[in-house]
Structure 1
Amino acid sequence: MNIIVKEGFAFRVSELANRYRANCNGEWGCFVTGDTKNLTHSKAEKAGLTRGNFVELAVCQISEKILTFEPHYQAEPFLEIWGFPVAGEMKNELPEKASQLVTFLLHRRSKDKMIGLVDTFAKEAFMAWVNEGMKGDANEYAFHKATELRFSKIFRFEFISETSPHGNYHWVKVETREPNSELDKAALLAAKEVCELYPTACTDSRLEENHLNNVGAVLPPAAAPNALPAGNGAAVAQIPAKTKASK
């Protein structure tokens, strides 16, 4: 375990991933932790397994994974989010001057919305490169500029309820805001330090194995796994396809 102290606030980085799940089904529309199988939302809430319908984070890392979760998801793309909560129930369970590194996945519509938002950082970085005279390598400039922008914003992930012909469902809306508290500012500093000094902290070995197995299953050996485009602030590990020799 690592403890990062910034501006009088403590940030815990555990060796075990503090993983939550975004449950978008029916009555749920909230983050959950632990085993909620066969539970209703109300029973899960009474058991202390729900964590509210929103969280605000200083984001450390965003990466794309190809994952299988039987029986519903077969080699499907997800976004893996890592960060320090500064608001919401994930934060409220911790002391006022503390936060800890957490992670969760976004899928389908929620994933697409997040990618679209992150792409705005790449666009801003590109425009800055052009306005500053197009000096140096555009991709390198865009990557560093977009990363700088990401570590200046607080991300809000909030469940939105909608109705379809198949019933009620939820998706996760993603927005950013400026830091407006001392905790926000300290969390952004801690998130940047994790990204720069402790990149392996944003790794869940079980998820990496799942991803590796699926990359090998859906891509030809010479292909690289899906990744967010360079310059949008995403940190995506390039994991080679699985071969017979690696089994």
Structure 2
Amino acid sequence: MTRLAARAALTLAVSVAAVSCQFVSGLHEMRVDDSGCGPAGTPCGGTCASGKETPLGTCGNDGTCSAEPRSCAPYACDASGTECAASCSTSRDCSDAVCDTSSGTCQACEWTPDESLPAVVKSCAPQGDGTCNEFGIDMANQSVTLDASEHPVVLRCNGEQCNGALVTCKGPFPCEVICNDDSCEDLDLRCSDTGRCSLKCNDSGCSGNVKVTCKANSCSVDCRGLGDDSVHPSIHRECGSSCSCSETPECGGGGGGGGGGGGTP
């Protein structure tokens, strides 16, 4: 190899080494996107999940998106999973709230269409055979619907009335069942999709296998009316997607989950 050729080879080796060093240095300066955000300047966001919307933004040099997540409350994410819902058709479209289907808006927990309307009270009169026939209701071991579509409804049970009854609440207004002396044994109370729902136990009411199935709105079981010598009932309460599901300690029994999370009717 001539001296000229040797010098050319040395120059080429140095050049390749320099380029290699620059390439490695370039890789070292390139930031790895641990967050899943692509190269700087690329679009990111435009998603909605778990009740939080991330608007469209751009990826920064640090691998994070310029758009910050924000809560959709009182609405949930829309069906597309890209933005917050703007209206509701069921309480599934709301986050810890109740859907007013008449206006398509999410309302705060314990909402009712009109607080000023008085409740319609249905009182059961003893019939001798334990049934409740007043107002056309035959409650013992029967199914009955309490229609709270236009006003609140209260059902009062006495004696052996409402034993084994399946009571279903309907409509957005409050629906309440009051159980007095020896009534409501084996009662099954099923709340409406949107209305407030409650069960009150007095004296020796609510003995036996009592079940309350809650829905989107507030749902409560109150046994503070029991006497000192009353047998404290064991009430099974299923909270479901209720935005507020409570039970006084006096009621005992158990209840499953519940309390918030985008009401599922």
The two structures have a TM-score, normalised by structure 1, of 0.23
Going by fraction, where is helix more abundant, 1 or 2?
1
Structure number with the bigger relative contact order (C-alpha 8 A, sep ≥ 6) is: 1
The two structures have a TM-score, normalised by structure 2, of 0.22
